[in-house]
Amino acid sequence: MVAEKTLMTAKGYLCLICSRSRTDLTGIKQHLQDSHMDTGVRYRCPICRNIYKTKNSFQNHISLKHREELRGMDQTKCIVYE
Ligand SMILES: [Zn+2]
Ligand SMILES: [Zn+2]
């Protein structure tokens, strides 16, 4: 599962989904879990109330739409469970 979503490179492991990299296998596993796995955790944008399934897509949305308003906000407050 991890193998098909990552690529081992000279510098470590590259995530094939978002092109981020980690230096070790534990790190890339953690990244996949945090960013791309559906763990039942949802993130709700406090401004437009959109729901995101992954931290990655949530953070993307925040940085694209509300970078200024939500600078330094506590993202854990946006986590909701279904
Ligand atoms: Zn990724
Ligand atoms: Zn929003």
CA of 29 to the centre of ligand 1 (A): 10
DSSP class of 23: S
Structure tokens at 55: 């931290």
Q: What is the pLDDT of residues 35-55, one digit of tens each?
A: 888 778 899 999 999 999 888
Burial 64-82 (b: 16+ CB within 10 A, else e): eeeeeebeeeeeeebeeee
Question: Given a cut of 90, is residue 65 above it in pLDDT?
Answer: yes
Based on the number of CB atoms within 10 Å of its own CB, is 26 exposed (0-12), middle (13-18) or buried (19 or more)?
exposed
CA of 32 to the centre of ligand 1 (A): 6
pTM: 0.59
Rounded to 10°, the helix 25-36/55-65 angle is 70
CA of 64 to the centre of ligand 1 (A): 18
**Ion ligand 2 residues within 5 Å by Cβ:** 45, 47-48, 65
Nearest ligand to the C-alpha of residue 44?
2
